[in-house]
Amino acid sequence: MNLWRMVATRIALGIVTLLLVSAVIYLVVGVLPGDIAVEVLGRNSTAQARHLFDLRLHLNEPLWDRYAQWLGGFVRGHFGESITTGSPVRALVMPALGASARLSAYALVLYVPITLTMALIGAVWSGRGPDSVTSTLTLIGLSLPDFVIGTILIVMFAVVVHWFPAIAGTGAQGFWATLRAITLPAATLAAVMSAYSARMLRSSLIEVLQSQFIRTATLKGTSRWRVIFRHALPNAIVPTLNVTALNLTYLIGGVVVVEVVFSYPGLGQLLVNSIAIRDIPVVEAATLIASGIYIAANVFSDVVAVLVTPRLRYARPAR
pLDDT at 1 over 60: no
Residue 319 has a pLDDT of 47
Which domains occur in the chain, in start order? Answer: 3-75 (no CATH), 90-313 (1.10.3720.10)
Distance CA(150)–CA(259), nearest Å, equals: 10
Q: Are 297 and 248 spatial neighbours (Cβ–Cβ below 8 Å)?
A: yes
Residue 316 has a pLDDT of 53
Q: What pTM, to 2 d.p., does this model score?
A: 0.78
pLDDT at 169 over 70: no
pLDDT at 214 over 80: no
Residue 318 has a pLDDT of 46
Residue 270: partners with Cβ closer than 8 Å, 6 or more residues away = 92, 93, 96, 282, 286
Rounded to 10°, the helix 238-261/183-209 angle is: 160
Residue 187 has a pLDDT of 92
List pLDDT tens digits, range 98-122.
888 888 889 989 998 998 888 888 8
DSSP state, residue 58:
T
CA distances from 47 to 56, 59, 85 (A): 14, 14, 21
Q: What is the mean pLDDT of residues 193-207?
A: 85
pLDDT at 311 over 60: no
| DSSP symbols for 39-54 | HHH-TT--HHHHHHHH
List pLDDT tens digits, range 47-68.
777 667 666 666 666 777 778 8
- Of the candidates 283, 279, 248, 249, the one whose C-alpha atom is nearest the C-alpha of residue 268 is 283
Q: Where are the alpha helices (DSSP H) in 125-174?
A: 129-143, 146-154
Residue 188 has a pLDDT of 92
